[in-house]
Structure formats: C-alpha cells, structure tokens
Amino acid sequence: MRNSAVGPTRWVLVLVGLLAGGLHPGAAAADPVDIESFVKCVNKELKDKKAATVVDTVKCVPNGCFVTLSMEMRSAQKACFGHPNQPKIQLPRVVFDCPGPGDGDHELRFFPSYVLCPTGFAKQLHHVELAEHAQEMIGALKMADIEIAPNQPFQPLDVAGAFSQAGGTGSKRCNECHRPARPAGVRDGGVITVKIDGQPIQLQLSAPFPVGGVFLDDPSSLAQFIIFNNRPPIQDLDDFEGRSYVNQSLAGVCAEIEKKESQKILKERFKDQDTAILTALCKALAAKASNHGAH
C-alpha cells in the first residue's frame, strides 16, 4: 500500500496537530492524556530502573494516537539521514497526536514526540518533547521537555519542572522556534497560571511551529518534509521538485535501520550506544503506532 502524507494546506495539522474535536481513535482509561499524566507515568514505569533509556518512556504514549513522520532538519528536534550519502536511512522526528481530556467541540489533544536522529541540539534522541492544547482553544499550546540519561539509574522527574515555564531557568526555550501564543482572553503575553500537585506555576504558552516562517519564507513548504501521516484527512504528498525524502511508514523506517549494512553505517557515524538506542526506540515507537494502524 502506498504511504501517504498531507499536502501543503495541512502542514500545521501535521506538525503540531492543532485541529481539535471530532476525532477519537480511542485511549484506554489509564492512558496519559496530558503532560502531567505522561510525566507521572514515566516516573512510575521507570522507578528503580538501573539502566533507563528514552525507549522506556514509550509505554506511556497512549494507544490510539495518530502518527506523523517529519524529515525537517532545522528545528531543535531535527531529523537526519543515517549518513549524508545514504538517504535511504531516514531518521525522522516522530509526532504522536493523541486523545486528550474532553470530547466533541471541547476536546483537547496531547502531542508526545520523539527524535530518531542522535545529532543536533542537546542530543534530542534522549528527550521527549511534549505539548498539549491549552484552555480548550485552537492556537495555544502548553509545552514541556524531559530527558532520560542513557543507561543510567533513573532519577525521578520533577513534574512541574518538565513544563516550559515563563522566564528564568524554568523556560525550555520553546519560543525560540515557536512564538508566544496570545489567544483571546489571555493577558501578560500568553502567560497562564496552573496548579501542578497543588502548587501554582506560570507557563509560557506557545504557538504552533513555525508561525510566520521562522525557518522558511513559505511555511507551507514544510509539507515537503512529511514522509508519513495517518491523521485524517489523508492526502497524497505533492511532487516537490528536488525532494530528497521518500514516503515511508514507521515500520519501513525501522526495517531500513535494522538492516546489517545500515547498522554498520550508523555505528560508524554515531556511538554504538546511540545506534542501539535509536534502533530500539524505532521498534518501540512502531509497535505503539501499530495500535492505530500506522503500518
């Protein structure tokens, strides 16, 4: 079956999933539905683990999520090829679009995302970027980031500290790529106060990425980086001239990574540890994605 991706008119929905309401792939009652419940799930699942990796967090991704794969290489969570001369080995960013709290017109969405590329800012392979709709309105996101030190004893995560907070050391610098979101009814530059475990913290809201073409003059051209998407409405990928990426499902990405010759190339370019983690991460993410038919 031909893999599909969305055209330029749907790029915002692909990268950050800001279409709300009416889509319910279905999540189990115990599945995390937002940043707070995801981080608490990670703390529970990885407790006392002596050699934790980011792979262990995948069990906290809800079932029933839509999946998008992007080969965009200019954001902090960038994709890459296994080797510049081996474009068949695609190491994309994997964005899940999951059911959140609420339903119908008031449904919020939750977006855990992973990176299979070991290079780039702060070794994002070992991070999970998290976002969720804020205030039941399209156009504003709460954001967070967690890091799992590879093959080290797991240290419990500070739930409030995972969020991108307003100013100071609590900021995850998300708005260096995103811009601050200022939806109607929100004052003080898109800063909101929420309670985490009963303690108030101030969060900086973010807009979808990128607004106003942070990296490209024409934001719609970001569609050229999408190699797979199963979030309706599914459209065939337009034929972009000179496009170096190929449509590929997550299972297909993993199959290419796991080939003997690919493993040799990856180990020559990256550390053995990172190659082992990205290979295991891809397999775990593909298994999770298959729960919604993303084959």
pLDDT, one tens digit per residue, over 207-262 is 665 433 333 344 455 677 888 988 765 555 555 555 678 889 999 999 999 999 99
- pTM over 0.75? The answer is yes
Predicted local confidence at residue 170, as pLDDT: 64
pLDDT at 216: 38
Cα 281 → chain centroid:
13
In eight-state DSSP terms, residue 105 is: G
Q: What does the alpha-carbon distance between residue 193 and residue 181 come to, in Å, rounded to a whole number?
A: 14
Residue ranges in the chain modelled with pLDDT below 50? 1-29, 136, 210-219, 293-295
Please give the single-letter amino acid code of residue 247: N
Query: What is the pLDDT, as a whole number, of residue 214?
Result: 37
- Listed in order, strand segments (DSSP E) in the chain are 66-70, 80-81, 90-91, 93-99, 109-115, 127-133, 141-147, 191-196, 199-204, 226-229
What is the CB neighbour count within 10 angstroms for residue 276?
18
- State residue 268's pLDDT score: 92
The owner of tokens 């303690």 is 199
- φ/ψ of 55, rounded to 5, equals -60, -35
**pLDDT computed for residue 87 by the predictor:** 77
pLDDT at 28: 43
Contact 226, 4 (CB under 8 A): no
* Closest among 107, 114, 110 to 97, alpha carbons compared: 110
- Joined tokens for residue 12: 């915002």
